[in-house]
Structure 1
Amino acid sequence: MKPLLVLVDQISDWSPYYPTNQVVAISDYLSDYAETKGYVINLCRDYSYLGSGYYGSLLAEARGGQVFPSVRAIRELNSFESGQPLLPKHSRTLENISRKDETHPDRLDLRSFFGITQNAEMASIARRIFEVFGFPVVDVSFTRVQANLWVISSVQVRALDELEEASQTEFAEALDTFSHKIWRTRRSSKRYKYDVAILVNPEEALPPSNKGALKAFEKAGKDLGLNVDFITHRDANRVGEYDALFIRETTQVDHHTYRIAQSAENQGLFVIDSPTDIMRCSNKVYLHETLKRHNVDTPKTHLLLVQQNYNIDDIIEELGLPVIVKIPDGSFSIGVEKAKTREDLLECITRLGERSALLLLQEFMPTDFDWRIGIIDNQVIYACRYFMAKSHWQIYNHSARSNANKSGNADAFAIDKVPKNVIRTALKAAKCMGSGFYGVDLKASGDRAVIIEVNDNPSIDMGVEDLHSGNMLYQQIMGTMLRKLDELNGR
């Protein structure tokens, strides 16, 4: 049987149950655990984005554990909107339960412990709810909107300290059962027409692809037999009409790009960027933990849980000055600051700590340029050097008055001309994240190649990333999409 670890905010949360060394406080898990094998049950109270529960699941996934709830489940809960329909068979079940009651209620409630409920008639529904949301303890309400059509009207997660004595017993029994059995994962349906939707935002100031690149993607797709349509977030309800979704709008977790990707994948589409890639790549804590577990070289990094006591002088001794301070979900150099002095560092931690419970502090590694290696399905497809913005230490300088000075120059390279250690390190880092479409950012110094970030949704602009390979770059990306669709459809 695989090992089991239980995460709580404080050990005292576990006081109604038998003491065990399998229960760990989130602060201890942050500092004392590396690789995590087996199952992780995350019972932290706050599952909001960047809360302790969110980080509990994020760190567990990054360290190799199979965690409940997953980060994806947390995002699905946080983006939940009342009125989600049930499967027809489950609506019929609720209708039958309601008819047996002489009052014929239009609302029914369910409490589920790891997909297990005391109401035998709702057993299959409880299991389905757990497959979708994956939370240890939830209260779910269902509402009839018409005959034989019931919807989920609310989903509320319950913390351990909210459980009365009878529910504490049910929880303990369900946990014991769950630790010996894991539910199957959801199966996606398969579709057979090759229609590709490219999600764009015509009003975006810095889109991942300019107009020329979008036209090149469209042409490459059609040359390969893919019907390509451009859609915006206003077309989200149409995404199920397609076989694949290619996102060319800047992605964020707490954003419609994630919700559309999630909806598309749930409907069986092949998606670039997948919700998993968006979640993993958008959070630098996940990236750091994953690369650390796989021995991929990164700048010296200190994870700081802001509400815990810390010694600023020990951090400076570890990392030196200046120190780079990052919020986990920043992009385009936003939320990344350089603290030159001890006072600057304290001020950065205090200010950025108001936005995230965790911060990353890293050694400063000055270089004239960063490498960007484009990788899809674990294959290198382009290489660029991005130079620092004028008189600035980053590629992007958002405070520059002139648009010409907001970003540095870039040049594309033949892949075989890139230092081998840069390519090797980039491939290793991308493989740690998955098999999606990534832009891997590195700094190189001598024999050392150091990962700065692995980005989902990397920039592909006509006249920049395609300067060396031209139309072949677009053909490689759309060709990968075609091949993946063939694989999904058994061709």
Structure 2
Amino acid sequence: MRKIVVVDYPKDWGLAIEDIEVVEAQAYLTDAAYTDIRNARIFNLCRSYKYQSAGYYVSLLAEARGHKPIPSVTTMQDLKSPTIVRAITVEINDLIQKSLANIRSSNFTLSIYFGQNVAQKYEKLCKQLHDLFQAPLLRAQFVQKEEWVLQSISPIPVNEVPQSHWKYMVDFAKAYFARHRFSGARINRKIYDLAILVDPAEKEPPSDRKAIQYFLEAAEAQGFYAELITKEDYRRLPEFDALFIRETTSVNHHTYRFARKAHADGLAVIDDPVSILRCTNKVYLAELLTKAKVPIPKTMIIHKDNRKEVEEVLGLPCVLKKPDSSFSQGVVKAKCRESLKEELDKMLADSELIIGQEFSPTDFDWRIGVLDKQPLYACKYYMAKGHWQIYNWEGKKQDTAGDVETVPFEQVPFTVLHTALKAANLIGNGLYGVDLKEIDGKAYVIEVNDNPSIEAGCEDKVLKRELYATVIKSIKQRIDNHKNGRVNE
């Protein structure tokens, strides 16, 4: 993967950094040699990103050529809008207030060079702003009103960096490009770059360490450079061609921000942000499945005005679910009127709507893994010992989860497989796990999960290593489709 710094004039960038090419903007825009490059990262350090300027066209044509520009045209547009700037930075407001608390003036300018500042105390704020606005050189203007407000954030023309700051910027640049650089041998050998997002501290991740290693090996075998990244690597997303999320997802969480950013930057993404939005909200799923006439247990969307009808509609015991519940957490069984009232009070205090379902006990739930609208694996997830759910988080450690039995598709009842595919295909063409109960020969969808479990020795028992290869093949196909202007359908 070639790394190219584009500048208006060679004198703007006199640094020699290993594996980094420096190219004039005019050459990049007009020389056919750059048009024909298949894989490249373009670091746009032109003096201006104004509409129809050379800097603007460098990023625009880089995107059209299938290169990865930093900044992207989308980022350029975001930087011009104070409304978007404030909307995007609302999530770091506490950090802004904390970082600027000791400043006595009513205005403050923060220069951000490759995600850093000459003053160490602003390191975290610089990193966060750079994560949100992917551009090499940025100037953030803050004003003190009732609190500190980010008034604007704009690119710094490379020729306007103060001479006294260049000695710092050289070190910042070297550190920055070192994180965006791969060895020469790897550049020649690998076709695409894959980021796999994990949380090393997560207690119950969707893939265990062995499965993650199998994914890495499958990617390597298919010509990828694959790397494990964490939430600290948000700003590195433009380095990659694809993002594969292997930590538990949620909308109000960095996993969603990673998916959204990657999707906006043109990366192939599993899980894509739309799938996360749809699957992580049980209210949406209930409405979607009901409208499509997919069989589900008797279900009720509960709010403060109809809570007194729950017992009559669902009976007791019944199951109550928070909209964003996952891995059996945020799911409770109300056994009697007293526990029903208590649980409703708790859940409705946090959410306007929650889900109620009739209690349908079974020895196991089916889980059908679906990828690209086709079945990938089939499992029976047995209930945890002495419990009514697959997971029992309050039980003894050895009894937290029930047994798993992976079975070939020919042993899966047709109604289970058919219903699972119908439900998953309503969501999209990503990687899903559909949970179903089989009762009296009929299949009922409990939920559709994005980011389903794939663990070594469990979901892979039938396909073995081919399961991991199949997922990587899908990611590769998505990249190829995007580069060739085709939509993944």
TM-score by length of 2: 0.62
Summarize the Cα distance change of 1:152–1:217 in structure 2 as closer, same or farther, 3 Å threshold: farther
Q: Which among 421, 424, 428 is matched to residue 430 of structure 1?
A: 424
8 Å CA contact 1:91, 1:150 repeated in 2? no
Summarize the Cα distance change of 1:363–1:467 in structure 2 as closer, same or farther, 3 Å threshold: same
SS of 2:406's equivalent in the other structure is: strand
Distance 1:293 1:430 in 2: 14
Bigger Rg over Cα: 2
Identify the residue that residue 88 of structure 1 maps to in structure 2. 49
SS of 2:447's equivalent in the other structure is: strand
Tell me, yes or no, if structure 1 residue 468 matches structure 2 residue 462: yes
- Equivalent positions of 1:347-426 (< 5 A) are 347-400=342-395, 402-426=396-420
The code of the aligned residue for 1:438 comes to Y
Summarize the Cα distance change of 1:364–1:153 in structure 2 as closer, same or farther, 3 Å threshold: farther
Summarize the Cα distance change of 1:483–1:369 in structure 2 as closer, same or farther, 3 Å threshold: same
SS of 2:326's equivalent in the other structure is: coil
C-alpha distance after superposition, 1:278-297 (max 9, x if no partner): 11111100111111111111
Summarize the Cα distance change of 1:149–1:460 in structure 2 as closer, same or farther, 3 Å threshold: closer
Tell me, yes or no, if structure 1 residue 338 matches structure 2 residue 333: yes
SS of 2:332's equivalent in the other structure is: strand
- Equivalent positions of 1:89-128 (< 5 A) are 89=50
- Equivalent positions of 1:2-13 (< 5 A) are none
Shift of 1:415: 1.3
Summarize the Cα distance change of 1:381–1:311 in structure 2 as closer, same or farther, 3 Å threshold: closer
Shift of 1:89: 2.8
Tell me, yes or no, if structure 1 residue 316 matches structure 2 residue 311: yes
Tell me, yes or no, if structure 1 residue 329 matches structure 2 residue 324: yes
Summarize the Cα distance change of 1:153–1:342 in structure 2 as closer, same or farther, 3 Å threshold: farther
Shift of 1:310: 2.8
Shift of 1:259: 1.3
Distance 1:379 1:221 in 2: 21
* Number of residues of Structure 1 aligned to a counterpart in Structure 2: 326
Identify the residue that residue 194 of structure 2 maps to in structure 1. 196
Shift of 1:128: 9.8
SS of 2:410's equivalent in the other structure is: helix
- Equivalent positions of 1:168-207 (< 5 A) are 194-207=192-205
Tell me, yes or no, if structure 1 residue 244 matches structure 2 residue 239: no
Identify the residue that residue 285 of structure 1 maps to in structure 2. 283
Summarize the Cα distance change of 1:369–1:310 in structure 2 as closer, same or farther, 3 Å threshold: same
Identify the residue that residue 254 of structure 1 maps to in structure 2. 252
Identify the residue that residue 231 of structure 2 maps to in structure 1. 233
Q: Which among 409, 434, 437 is matched to residue 443 of structure 1?
A: 437
8 Å CA contact 1:388, 1:396 repeated in 2? yes
Shift of 1:266: 1.6
8 Å CA contact 2:371, 2:432 repeated in 1? yes
SS of 1:88's equivalent in the other structure is: coil
SS of 2:355's equivalent in the other structure is: strand
Summarize the Cα distance change of 1:345–1:152 in structure 2 as closer, same or farther, 3 Å threshold: farther
Q: Which among 451, 457, 468 is matched to residue 457 of structure 1?
A: 451
C-alpha distance after superposition, 1:107-150 (max 9, x if no partner): xxxxxxxxxxxxxxx9x9779959x99xxxxxxxxx9978x977
Distance 2:140 2:361 in 1: 55
Distance 1:462 1:126 in 2: 47
Gaps of 5+ in 1: 1-86, 93-121, 134-142, 155-191
Identify the residue that residue 81 of structure 1 maps to in structure 2. none
Summarize the Cα distance change of 1:311–1:239 in structure 2 as closer, same or farther, 3 Å threshold: closer
Summarize the Cα distance change of 1:127–1:149 in structure 2 as closer, same or farther, 3 Å threshold: closer
C-alpha distance after superposition, 1:300-327 (max 9, x if no partner): 1111122xx3362x32222111111111
Shift of 1:214: 0.8
- Equivalent positions of 1:473-484 (< 5 A) are 473-484=467-478
Shift of 1:344: 1.6
Shift of 1:345: 1.0
SS of 2:50's equivalent in the other structure is: helix
- Equivalent positions of 1:131-150 (< 5 A) are none
Shift of 1:392: 0.5
The code of the aligned residue for 1:310 comes to N
The code of the aligned residue for 1:317 comes to E
Distance 1:152 1:425 in 2: 54
Shift of 1:219: 1.1
8 Å CA contact 2:195, 2:243 repeated in 1? yes
Distance 1:289 1:471 in 2: 37
The code of the aligned residue for 1:291 comes to L
Summarize the Cα distance change of 1:486–1:437 in structure 2 as closer, same or farther, 3 Å threshold: same
Distance 1:264 1:424 in 2: 32
Tell me, yes or no, if structure 1 residue 220 matches structure 2 residue 218: yes
C-alpha distance after superposition, 1:179-221 (max 9, x if no partner): xxxxxxxxxxxxx951101111111111111111111111111
Distance 1:260 1:153 in 2: 26
Gaps of 5+ in 2: 1-47, 54-76, 89-107, 112-136, 144-189
8 Å CA contact 2:110, 2:141 repeated in 1? no
Distance 1:151 1:422 in 2: 55
The code of the aligned residue for 2:282 comes to K
RMSD between aligned residues: 3.0
